[in-house]
């Protein structure tokens, strides 16, 4: 019961933090759907650790909202906050630098952060397949796919099931993007 309560606490926190935010895809989708799907991907693989699922639900809070780290620490503890920090890009850096840092830092992530990262990249690819951001050219979509593969490629061997889901989406998107030449 405690695990369910901690999961629902993180869900409500993420809902409040991401209120009014939308994904880049077309049609616009509430941002909260993304961290929910990331956590759900972990659960589908039998990865039901409370800290892992809380961090999955909160993984974009520091990066994409004005919520301070202290609020996450106070409500969910240092371990959850640590995972969220591992997965947070520094928005003060150029996008190209942030993306390169994700590739370079991937092997140094903790096991739980790697699990979340793979589920996150998989969900982003699923969104790219079903509702690509408006204005994204085929070239930009291909570049995103290639970059996602580089990130996940650096942490291969983390979890076969999550990696298989990622690979399936990556292959499907690759086929679709190359059929649109």
DSSP calls for 104-123: HHGGGS-HHHHHHHHHHHHH
Residue 74 has pLDDT above 80, yes or no: yes
Q: Is 63 known to be catalytic?
A: yes
SS3 category, 46: coil
Longest dimension (CA), the chain: 52
Tell me how far apart the alpha carbons of residues 98 and 25 are, in angstroms, rounded to a whole number.
Answer: 21
Query: Which listed residue (64, 129, 163, 167) is catalytic?
Result: 64
Query: Which listed residue (9, 29, 49, 63) is catalytic?
Result: 63
Tell me how far apart the alpha carbons of residues 83 and 26 are, in angstroms, rounded to a whole number.
Answer: 30
pTM: 0.95
pLDDT at residue 174, as a whole number:
94
What total of structural domains would you count in the chain?
1
What residue numbers bound the domain in which 81 lies?
A: 2-179
Residues 70, 75, 79, 81, CA torsion sign: negative
CATH number of the domain enclosing 146: 1.10.3210.10
pLDDT at residue 1, as a whole number:
64
Average pLDDT rounded to a whole number, residues 77-99 = 97
The least confident of 22-31, 41-50, 87-96 is: 22-31
């Amino acid at each position: 019961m405690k695990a369910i309560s901690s999961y629902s606490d993180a869900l409500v926190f993420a809902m409040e933090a991401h209120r009014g935010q939308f994904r880049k895809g077309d049609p616009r989708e509430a941002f909260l759907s993304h961290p929910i799907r990331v956590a759900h991907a972990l659960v589908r693989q039998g990865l039901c650790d409370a800290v892992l699922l809380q961090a999955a639900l909160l993984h974009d809070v520091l990066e994409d909202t004005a919520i301070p780290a202290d609020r996450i620490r106070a409500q969910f503890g240092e371990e959850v906050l640590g995972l969220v920090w591992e997965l947070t890009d520094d928005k003060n850096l150029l996008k190209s630098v942030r993306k390169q840092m994700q590739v370079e830092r991937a092997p140094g992530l903790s096991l739980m952060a790697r699990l979340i990262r793979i589920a996150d990249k998989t969900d982003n690819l699923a969104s790219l397949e079903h509702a690509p951001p408006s204005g994204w050219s085929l070239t930009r979509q291909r570049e995103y796919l290639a970059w996602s593969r580089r990130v996940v490629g650096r942490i291969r061997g983390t979890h076969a099931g999550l990696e298989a889901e990622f690979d399936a989406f990556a292959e499907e998107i690759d086929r679709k993007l190359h059929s649109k030449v």
